[in-house]
Structure 1
Amino acid sequence: MPVATARPISLTAAERARLKKAAYGHKTPHRTRVRAHIVLLAARGQANARIARESGVHLDTVRTWRSRFAVQGLPGLADHKRRGRPTSFTPVQVAEVKALACQLPAESGTPLARWSCPELAREVVARAIAGSVSASTVRRWLKQDAIKPWQYRSWIFIRDPDFQRKAARIMDLYAGAWQGVPLGENEYVVSADEKTSVQARCRCHPTLAPGQARAMRVNHEYGRGGALAYLAAYDVHRAKVFGRCEDRTGIVPFMNLVTQVMTTAPYAGAERVFWIVDNGSSHRGQRAIDRLTSAFPNAVMVHTPVHASWTNQVEIFFSIVQRKVVAPNDFTDLTQVRDRLRDFEDRYNATAQPFQWRFTTSDLDDLLARLDRHSLDRQEESSIAPTAGSTPEGLRASTTKHSVLPYQRLLSVDEWLRHAAAVPLTTPEAVVVDGTNRQDRLRRDTGSRLYAGGALASPPPPGASLPSAPGRPRLENRYTVRAASLPPGPAQLRPGGTAIAATRPDEPAVVPGMKCRSWGGGCTDHTTGRINCTRPAVGSALHNR
């Protein structure tokens, strides 16, 4: 009886380099390192028994990985896909749960301000989306797409119609220019404002110093010792602070601060001193500009846009004062508050350096462009509200919120394809994609239906072409469709706002200038846009970048 011989192993330079990196890498998993070491020894012509002794594994283990590499190459060293437990929830149910999480509870009449995972799980069962689901399962689904409905952030919208011009002037001053001309050596930029209501709170019990494994302890009860206003002027390029304490804010206290600065060198003899202020009552409007110019002709007042105090650098200094001087606020009287602020001002001026302001006019233009796109998207989304019966049961047809639309698209396109093809569209491997994740992750579900982007107002009649859906151009979603069958005839399927031709798997789709993003396979002839996947097991019919 002939004796079975070990399979000979021959390596290319690229395979040898990858195997060495896996065998000797510090972050390589142990099982991968052992397999790579076995193949490298086999490539030297060593016998399986010797490789087993040197690697410290069983002889059958050596035979297994040597045989698999000889047949499959490097992919053969990976674990086979395990069968696992069958899925309990369909991709449609997962999409509906995510769509529900992207709605406000008040829209469905739920007496909650925010969703939590237990509350979402209870609502899913109440709406008959699923028979039963645990809070941990809902949390896992939401984590896939970084959806956190229990968190919130406050924001304020631009109200100043002249926001861009006013903000750009301030950004230029921070960069050392005014109206396109660089500032001279004898020109200065001063940022000024008031910090109101600095209180003197006398704690009923002394504050305890921190100790080992113990934070500072401040008594909650206190007696009120009054309040004052702290006015400060910050030289943007010299990092020098001029401050004063006043009983209240107003025109007179602010002009006292201006006089304090403008009567000292080098501002008294400067060619121009630009004062950046917000729109507070102490320095609002043209009257404040005229008042400053009449008192000091070399002073130029520059107002920030309305509700844009973040463009004023003195606010950064006030935040430092709040964190290092005021909080946790344990002062016996206002005199102690004044002394503390004055001493800190001297301490700060001794070591301070200018703030590294990185927000430029280019960043401002990008921000305003994003806001314009956001406003346009909201208008488009509000104009494509689905009609009754256009979305599957379980998703409210009247919902057109910005964050819900990606999941409505997942659910609506399949309904349209059913009308167009007259038969349910099934694929051996389909990709369920959502449009909210900025990292453009793709979710694969074996044996599922095909769900792709595109919000539809109502199912078109059979045989009609799929129109391009109004999308969100700022999201660069990438869709890869592996289809064993598609509806007869070309269909237009492109969530980004532009139509793309989708044909049968054996007919390539032509999209000029498109960058191919095939799943695991290579594509050729990118310049003409003709998609031709070289991986025969996939047969890609549609690519989207």
Structure 2
Amino acid sequence: MLLAEGRTWDEVSERIDCSRGFVASWSKRFTEQRIAGLYSRHLGQVATVLTPELEARILEATRRAPTGGATHWSTRKLGAHLDVSHMMVARVWRKHGLKPHRIERYMASNDPDFEKKAADIIGLYLNPPAHAAVFSVDEKTAIQALDRKDPVLPLSPGRAERHGFEYFRHGTLSLYAAFNTKTGKVLGKTAARHTSAEFAAFLTDIVIDQPRGKEIHVIADNLSAHKSRPVTDFLAVHPKVHLHFTPTYSS
């Protein structure tokens, strides 16, 4: 009747809480056999009703570790474990936004001064000092410096640009970047090494980029190269440059 009203299979399956294949099967039987096709050919199994209690069981079981050495539940595995259909499990998961196959990572900071450092960093981002520049600085190390052995074949109609498989290695490079939180400008520099001397040299580039005598606040992580002798010597010569370190394991 719902199909006769012009509804789609997806709309009908959502309305009566069944699979799209179930709707398709009965639609085909009616089309081929008319009224006779609507009679069940066997008694079959009585459909399980999703009660609040059963929904709670599915949610509780989802939070427990699966059996049999598996690391995460699948709809079929949990359905077999609870003796319900995998589609019912899928509906409950979809309703509550559960995706057991996905994981996210986190890192907890054990820095005893976490709150103090976090407040300092957040304050620089949200309420920076007037007439001062704030930079967020970081490095990307071990970037492979590759050079293609074969010429690059240019883009052509119906064909993407193509690169050869073989290449020459030229060691690795480190990329330094400083993001000006006010203007959005990024200062970048590459270096063959990743030492405190290179970091101090990059701080010099930041100073040169700004007007003489301007207060500069640099946000950086707790890498040892950021706290070494060359850096402290640089800060002693440039008293208007201030380093702010993020809490440990929080960059």
- TM-score normalised over the length of structure 2: 0.69
**Offset, 1:217:** 5.8
Q: Aligned pair in 2 of structure 1 residues 221, 153: CA closer, same or farther (>3 Å)?
A: farther
Partner secondary structure for residue 191 of structure 1: strand
- The residue number in structure 2 matching 1:224 is 169
- The residue number in structure 2 matching 1:193 is 138
**Offset, 1:116:** 1.5
2:130 to 184, 193, 213: 184
The question of 1:259 aligning with 2:204 is answered: yes
**Offset, 1:151:** 1.3
- The residue number in structure 1 matching 2:96 is 145
1:477-507: CA deviation from partner (whole Å, max 9, x where unpaired)? xxxxxxxxxxxxxxxxxxxxxxxxxxxxxxx
The question of 1:98 aligning with 2:67 is answered: no
The question of 1:282 aligning with 2:240 is answered: no
- The residue number in structure 2 matching 1:525 is none
1:6-63: CA deviation from partner (whole Å, max 9, x where unpaired)? xxxxxxxxxxxxxxxxxxxxxxx99xxxxxxxxxxxxxxxxxxxxxxxxxxxxxxxxx
1:299 to 226, 238, 241: 241
Q: Aligned pair in 2 of structure 1 residues 173, 90: CA closer, same or farther (>3 Å)?
A: closer
- The residue number in structure 1 matching 2:25 is none
1:294-350: CA deviation from partner (whole Å, max 9, x where unpaired)? 1212211111111222xxxxxxxxxxxxxxxxxxxxxxxxxxxxxxxxxxxxxxxxx
Paired residue type of 2:78: L
Paired residue type of 1:248: R
The structure that is strand-richer by fraction is 2
**Offset, 1:227:** 1.3
**Offset, 1:219:** 5.9
**Offset, 1:252:** 0.6
The question of 1:169 aligning with 2:115 is answered: no
CA distance in 1: counterparts of 2:209 and 2:105, whole angstroms = 41
Q: Aligned pair in 2 of structure 1 residues 298, 227: CA closer, same or farther (>3 Å)?
A: same
1:62-461 equivalences under 5 Å are: 87-88=48-49, 91-105=52-66, 108=67, 110-122=68-80, 124=81, 129-130=82-83, 133-177=84-128, 183-185=129-131, 187-203=132-148, 206=152, 209=155, 222-266=167-211, 268-270=212-214, 272-284=215-227, 290-309=232-251
Partner secondary structure for residue 76 of structure 2: helix
Question: For the pair shown, which has the larger CA radius of gyration, 1 or 2?
Answer: 1
**Offset, 1:228:** 0.5
Runs of 4+ in 1 over 6 A off after TM superposition: none
Contact 2:197 2:230 in 1 (8 A): no
Contact 2:200 2:231 in 1 (8 A): no
Contact 2:199 2:231 in 1 (8 A): no
Contact 2:107 2:250 in 1 (8 A): no
CA distance in 2: counterparts of 1:200 and 1:289, whole angstroms = 27
Contact 2:135 2:181 in 1 (8 A): yes
Q: How many pairs are equivalent?
A: 207
* Percentage of identical aligned residues: 29
Paired residue type of 1:201: L
Contact 2:136 2:218 in 1 (8 A): yes
Partner secondary structure for residue 274 of structure 1: strand
Gaps of at least 5 residues in structure 1 are: 1-28, 31-84, 178-182, 310-545
Paired residue type of 2:239: P
CA distance in 1: counterparts of 2:117 and 2:94, whole angstroms = 41
Q: Aligned pair in 2 of structure 1 residues 86, 301: CA closer, same or farther (>3 Å)?
A: closer
Q: CA RMSD in A?
A: 3.1
Q: Aligned pair in 2 of structure 1 residues 112, 202: CA closer, same or farther (>3 Å)?
A: farther
1:57-100: CA deviation from partner (whole Å, max 9, x where unpaired)? xxxxxxxxxxxxxxxxxxxxxxxxxxxx8645655444323222
**Offset, 1:246:** 0.9
Q: Aligned pair in 2 of structure 1 residues 93, 175: CA closer, same or farther (>3 Å)?
A: closer
1:231-271: CA deviation from partner (whole Å, max 9, x where unpaired)? 223322233333222111111101111222324540x322x
CA distance in 2: counterparts of 1:147 and 1:274, whole angstroms = 42
Contact 2:134 2:216 in 1 (8 A): yes
CA distance in 2: counterparts of 1:210 and 1:103, whole angstroms = 55
Higher relative contact order (CA 8 A, sep 6+): 2
1:124-177: CA deviation from partner (whole Å, max 9, x where unpaired)? 1xxxx42xx332232123222222111111111222222221121122222344
CA distance in 2: counterparts of 1:238 and 1:93, whole angstroms = 55
Gaps of at least 5 residues in structure 2 are: 7-45
**Offset, 1:278:** 1.1
